[in-house]
Amino acid sequence: EVMLTSERYRVQRLPFSHLSDRDVAFFEGIMPGRVITNPEELKPFNVDWLKSVRGCSKLMLKPQTTAEVSQVLRYCHERNLAVNPQGGNTGLVGGSVPVFDEIILSTVLMNQIISFDKVSGILVCQAGCVLEKLNEYLEEQGFIMPLDLGAKGSCHIGGNVATNAGGLRLLRYGSLRGTVLGLEVVLADGSALDCLASLRKDNTGYDLKQLFIGSEGTLGVVTAVSILCPQKPKAVNLAFLGCQSFAKVLETFTTCRAMLGEILSAYEFMDEKCMELVEKHLKLSSPVAGSPFYVLIETSGSSSTHDEEKLNNFLEQAMTSGLVTDGTVATDDKKIKASHRFLFLRERITEALTHDGYVYKYDISLPVGKLYDLVTDTRARLGQNAKNVVGYGHLGDGNLHLNITADSYSRSLLDAIEPFVYEWTARYNGSISAEHGLGFKKKQFIQYSKPSEAVFLMQRFKAMLDPKGILNPYKMLPFGS
């Protein structure tokens, strides 16, 4: 375990008030039995999922309603107490745990579905609903959530919105900036902003919800979400393919998009190092072996015969033209088992990496043609100093997950990686965070993706909506914000 807080970031605690017994008594009065002060009980909520950052909060609150969140924030605002909103705590950039002793405001009990309209496909629910639970509920009604993530079993929809989470379905259904129709948010001073529209079209004034989508808990606490859900596809097919080079992976994508059109719902790639680690640490075998690159293609549509025909035509074309050297398809007869196995392999790469040692994780957006060059260049730069350098991700939307493993954390290795990776990304007009946000770990690097004028404007929004800076301090915006 590494305390990033102390070593790399030399961050000073801002002059917030310190928690008193009187404060705890006030919160107990609002939500008796839902105020946690036991240090042992607080431990898992003070550490992030990667065990890379740790805070020392002495208090966690578990509100059930927007009214309770309002009361909490109004009080904290008056008392100048800092607050760390927390959902499922699955973030990868240290955004969901305290840096010092901020009060943890957990949405874990805000897990009610408010309404679902089967005609429009619009779901309204509280922020603490777990993504997988929402998907299960919707599947019974013939719908699905427009996003799917490896962390779906524990991440909350409010946290997904706050970080503008991407994931496997983005290629087909777009980002949360498009599928979220409305939000209810509690501002720093406790006032509740109800923009929980259930309309596809609403052109009245500024689109305020966009300010909170991707704001990582720094501008307000999302308490409820209205989201547009697609119908559950009647036919889902998966293909797992082997390609001999990254150029072939790109060409396969172009062919795939042209031939599969609207039924293409995911196009994921991974290098052979990823597969080796999954096989080694998780004992999962790859359905296709011996290729430098692997591609996972998913199609979702309304007619299985139509979709299978399209997929088979594409595969035939890809095989005969030499784009793909090996492949296997999951269609109806063996579909369920094989599909789960393919997706399972892809979703569990993160887990396999954590078994390989200490992991340095980078989530980058780049023009697709340049996507893998960063992996190759990083591998060459680090040489024997790194155990493994691997690349995988959502090729369809230009999102690379670059991961570097070593036996243990090393400051010199980190210095060799950063800011090299960020400078490389900026050179090709990429983004240093495609979908995980900036959180605590990346906030000092925002200038690699945004001009100073943009950062200044962000700081002004923050100062206006949270004048005392009590919401998720030390995160997202660079120091001096």
Enumerate the β-bridge partners of residue 224: 126, 184
Domains of the chain: 5-106 (3.30.43.10), 113-228 (3.30.465.10), 235-350 (3.30.70.2190)
| Residue 432: predicted pLDDT | 95
Does residue 11 surpass a pLDDT of 90? no
Q: Span 271-286, mean pLDDT?
A: 90
Compute the distance between CA of residue 258 and CA of residue 248 in angstroms, rounded to an integer: 15
Q: Span 150-165, mean pLDDT?
A: 94
Span between the terminal Cα atoms of the chain, in Å: 28
| Residue 2: predicted pLDDT | 44
| Confidence at 68, pLDDT banded by 50, 70, 90 | very high
Per the CB < 8 A criterion, the answer to whether 60 and 73 are in contact is: no
Tokens of 309: 């025909």
Cis peptide before 419 (omega within 30 of 0): yes
Q: Span 444-452, mean pLDDT?
A: 93
| Residue 287: predicted pLDDT | 81
The mean of the pLDDT values for the chain is 92
* Residue 186: strand, helix, or coil: strand
| Residue 51: predicted pLDDT | 84
| Residue 1: predicted pLDDT | 40
- Ranking 46-50, 187-191, 414-418 by mean pLDDT, the lowest is 46-50
Compute the distance between CA of residue 440 and CA of residue 450 in angstroms, rounded to an integer: 17
DSSP label of 185: E
Q: Span 392-417, mean pLDDT?
A: 94
| Residue 335: predicted pLDDT | 53
* b/e code 37-67 from CB counts within 10 Å (16+ = b): eeeeebeebbbbbbebbbbebbbbbbbbebe
Compute the distance between CA of residue 361 and CA of residue 346 in angstroms, rounded to an integer: 16
Q: Span 75-99, mean pLDDT?
A: 96
Tokens of 191: 């006032």
Give the DSSP per-residue string, 246-303.
Answer: HHHHHHHHHHHHHHHGGGEEEEEEEEHHHHHHHHHHH-PPPSS-S-SEEEEEEEEES-
Amino acid found at 325 = T
Per the CB < 8 A criterion, the answer to whether 400 and 393 are in contact is: yes
Question: Cα dist. 239→139, 357, 460 in Å?
Answer: 23, 31, 48
- Listed residue (197, 202, 165) closest to 184, CA to CA: 197
Backbone angles phi, psi at 234, to 5 degrees: -75, -30
Q: Which residues have CB under 8 Å from 84's CB, separation 6+?
A: 55, 57, 96, 97, 98, 102, 103, 104, 105, 217, 472
Tokens of 85: 């909103």
Tokens of 215: 């704001």
Tokens of 30: 């609002």
Tokens 């892809």 appear where? 346
What does pTM read for this prediction?
Answer: 0.91
Name the CA radius of gyration of the chain, rounded. 23
Compute the distance between CA of residue 335 and CA of residue 337 in angstroms, rounded to an integer: 6
Compute the distance between CA of residue 250 and CA of residue 246 in angstroms, rounded to an integer: 6
Tokens 């033209």 appear where? 321
Calculate what percentage of the chain has a pLDDT beyond 70: 95
Q: Is the dihedral of CA 318, 320, 323, 328 positive or negative?
A: positive
Tokens of 44: 């898992």
| Residue 9: predicted pLDDT | 65
Amino acid found at 156 = H
Q: Span 191-199, mean pLDDT?
A: 92
pLDDT digits (tens, 9 = 90+) for 20-50: 999 999 999 999 999 999 999 999 999 998 8
Enumerate the β-bridge partners of residue 364: 400
Compute the distance between CA of residue 73 and CA of residue 215 in angstroms, rounded to an integer: 17
Does residue 334 surpass a pLDDT of 70? no
pLDDT digits (tens, 9 = 90+) for 201-257: 888 899 999 999 999 999 999 999 999 999 999 988 889 999 999 999 999 999 999
* Residue 241: strand, helix, or coil: strand
Does residue 340 surpass a pLDDT of 80? no
| Residue 154: predicted pLDDT | 95
Compute the distance between CA of residue 400 and CA of residue 368 in angstroms, rounded to an integer: 9
DSSP label of 102: P
| Residue 5: predicted pLDDT | 45
The CA-based angle 66-72-78, given to 5 degrees, is: 135
Q: Is the dihedral of CA 401, 89, 435, 111 positive or negative?
A: positive
Give the DSSP per-residue string, 112-125.
Answer: -EEEEETTTTEEEE
Tokens 């983005």 appear where? 170
pLDDT digits (tens, 9 = 90+) for 460-478: 999 999 999 999 999 999 8
293-301/264-271 β-pairing:
antiparallel
